[in-house]
Amino acid sequence: MPLIAPASLFPTKPHIQIISALATITLIAATPGYATAQQTTDSIAPESSTGNSTPGSRAEVRAKDWMITAANPLAVKAGADILRNGGNAIDAMVTVQTMLGLVEPQSSGIGGGAFLLYYDARSKKLTTLDGRETAPMDATPTLFQDENGEPLDFYDAVVGGRSVGTPGTPALLKAAHENWGQLSWNSLFTPAIETATNGFEVSERLAGLISSDSEKLSRDPVAKSYFFDQDGVPLITGTLLKNPEYTATLRDLATNGTANFYNGTIAKDIVAKVRDAHWNPGVLSLQDMANYRVKERAPVCVDYREYDVCGMGPPSSGALTVGQILGLLEPYDLAALGPQSPDSWRLIGDASRLAFADRGRYMADSDFLPVPVAGLLDKSYLAERSKLLAGETALEDVSPGAPAFSHAMRLTDDEAIELPSTSHFSIVDIYGNAVSMTTTIENGFGSRLMVGGFMLNNEMTDFSFRTHSDGVPIANALAPGKRPRSSMAPTIAMKDGTPAIVTGSPGGSRIIGYVAQSLIAMIDWDKSPQEAIDMPHLVNRFGTYDIEEGTSAESLEPVLAALGFKTSLRDLNSGIHAIMITDDGLIGGADLRREGIVIGQ
């Protein structure tokens, strides 16, 4: 599978293609202070918290040589075996992803997309790979609108073939392994093949999610026959579940690489599945599959305290928005204020609102419009915006700013709906390499279409359903071949040129808040990864200040409301999996809101 990369990157790999960014939209002047529509959000959480939702009860894990943390114990154990037997972080990544697609099928898999942040110890280089799903070439910008040009209801768009983009995860695994893998590609599939063949016990979390999604999940007869028993009852906790179709798919990938997935029998099965979903067919074609390319992108980094916090640039909004939040907070002494101070949360909440305002206006696939990446993270731009935080109460009005290089655009604010799902894992190997990977099929169980033993994504619904607002274009509007804007924020914070924190989270657009808050907890408040993950969440995406229900943070609600924030108590289902690399070794944390663990040696 060819990888698309800037000329200076991967210089020794002859199969890599070189592209330049396309700038297909040239629009007119930016409009500072232009009225900002409220970010469209949704109170539905299809992948809700089903694990331990009362954080605070897990001891941190320490190790000397290597460490892995992910959202499912079977995936972590399989990855740990690879690391224990001499594999590196990229080898473990392939095994973890293939296992997650089996045991956590609602969150990620080979029918979806992913972003990888990889630090290579030998070259001392940080690389980001974009394995994001891509809009079919037959997709029109109004794909998610009805005959009157109004946005479809979210689930009318999601369930079926319409929402399926060309999957990117298999291509990403292959490209990463070709460049950095150590063990044989074939051998990395053995753990998931064996588990799919012999069966695994349905976890409490998976059973809960099947049950709560049963109507949508039973529309596709193949998904129904897998996730329900012969009487049509959702599988219960502890059921031994075998997946022979997934075994066959993995055997094909192990033997043939991604050839059949993108150009052969598996591609045909995927395309047929999407087009034959008669109640809501899609437009994915064999040509879309054959044309899929992983893209290497430049890491997006921001200075924060003594760290260089790096992540995934466009089409993800992750690193830019996390970077803006941190950059806006840089002038304020959060360490002195501490996590108990309402002023810390006022600053974090309003920094997030300012960053989300810019996100909604400017961030999308930079191959399709000129995203002002440098302008959005420019120190003087952020310092100027940061002065807005100097008051004592919540900002009354929050609008996008006018970053440098945004002069060529006139855009309006985004209305994409992003619901919490996805998975994140972090790996550090004995050689000093580090993997931070966030991986997704978008909504819980994606499009609900199952083929070859895996779920197909609904990533196209990460595009804005509208293309314009009052005649002004929306950056994240759908276009053929475009990649939908993501919030995924796989992160590696570098200190003195080497990785110090490897982290990330699932959670739709709340990913940004979860990642920013956990970084602040580790960097400013001296928390270990587990302590940072266990802290109650307070997340502001521009609208309400969401406060984690059932935690000590509830006591902050009246205080934040008195400061002028709109507040709401709610389940906040993060899945942060973080590793800190210190002079004394590795320290890891896993999120008790899901079912993950940490293993290290």
Show which residues are catalytic. Answer: 422
Report in angstroms how near the CB of residue 489 gets to ligand GLY at its nearest. Answer: 8
Residues 6 or more apart whose Cβ sits within 8 Å of residue 557: 547, 567, 569
Query: Does position 116 bind ligand GLY by CB under 6 A?
Result: no
Residue 440 binds to ligand GLY (criterion: CB under 6 A)? yes
The answer to the question of residue 95 lying near ligand GLY (CB under 6 A) is no
Stretch of 210-218, 392-400, 445-453, 486-494 lying at the interface with ligand GLY (CB under 6 A):
486-494
**Nearest to ligand GLY of 170, 257 (CB atom):** 170
- Of 197-205, 257-265, 482-490, 518-526, the window that binds ligand GLY (rule: CB under 6 A) is 482-490
| Cα–Cα dist 176/25, whole Å | 31
Q: Which of 275, 273, 270, 276 is nearest to 290 (CA)?
A: 270
CB 341, min distance to ligand GLY, A: 30
The 113-120 sheet, strands edge to edge: 3-4, 294-297, 125-131, 113-120, 434-440, 423-428, 67-70, 597-600
471 CB burial (10 A radius; 0-12, 13-18, 19+): exposed
Distance CA 6, CA 446 (A): 31
- In degrees and rounded to multiples of 5, residue 307 shows phi and psi of -110, 155
Exactly one of 130, 358, 418, 429 binds ligand GLY (CB under 6 A); that residue is 418
What's the rounded Cα separation, in Å, for the pair 577 and 533? 8
- Find the shortest distance in angstroms from Cβ 498 to ligand GLY: 28
| Residue 270 interacts with ligand GLY (CB under 6 A): yes or no | no
Q: Exactly one of 488, 523, 580, 598 binds ligand GLY (CB under 6 A); which one?
A: 488
* Secondary structure of 75-141 as H, E, C letters: HHHHHHHHHHCCCCHHHHHHHHHHHHHHHCCCCCCCCCEEEEEEEECCCCEEEEEEECCECCCCCCC
For residue 194, give every residue at least 6 positions away whose Cβ sits within 8 Å of its Cβ, in sequence order, or none.
Answer: none
Q: Quick check: 133 binds ligand GLY (CB under 6 A)?
A: no
Is residue 442 near ligand GLY by the rule CB under 6 A?
A: yes
487 binding ligand GLY? (CB under 6 A)? yes
Least separation in angstroms between CB 417 and ligand GLY: 10
Place of tokens 């939040």: 325
Q: Which is nearer to ligand GLY, 88 or 108 (CB)?
A: 108
**Residue 114 in the binding site for ligand GLY (CB under 6 A):** no
* Residue of 39, 321, 486, 503 that binds ligand GLY (CB under 6 A): 486
Residue nearest to ligand GLY (CB): 486
Query: 3-class DSSP state for residue 335?
Result: helix
CB of 462 to ligand GLY, least distance (A): 5
* Distance of closest approach, residue 223 Cβ to ligand GLY, in angstroms: 19
Number of residues interacting with ligand GLY: please give it, by CB under 6 A.
Answer: 9
Q: Where are the extended beta strands (E) located within 280-395?
A: 294-297, 300-304, 307-311
Residue burial 541-563, b: 16+ Cβ < 10 Å; e: rest? bbebbbbbbebebeebbeebeeb
The reply to whether 97 sits near ligand GLY by the rule CB under 6 A is no
Query: Which residues, other chains included, contact 7 with Cβ-Cβ below 8 Å and sequence gap of 6+?
Result: 18
Q: How many CA atoms within 13 Å lie on the side-chain side of 81?
A: 15
Which residue lies nearer to ligand GLY by CB, 365 or 442? 442
Nearer to ligand GLY by C-beta: 127 or 487? 487
Mark the segment that binds ligand GLY (CB under 6 A) among 145-153, 226-234, 480-488, 491-499: 480-488
Question: Can you read off the two tokens belonging to residue 444?
Answer: 């819980």
Looking at 252, 414, 462, 595, which residue binds ligand GLY (CB under 6 A)? 462
Residue numbers at the binding site for ligand GLY (CB under 6 A): 418, 422, 440, 442, 462, 486-488, 508
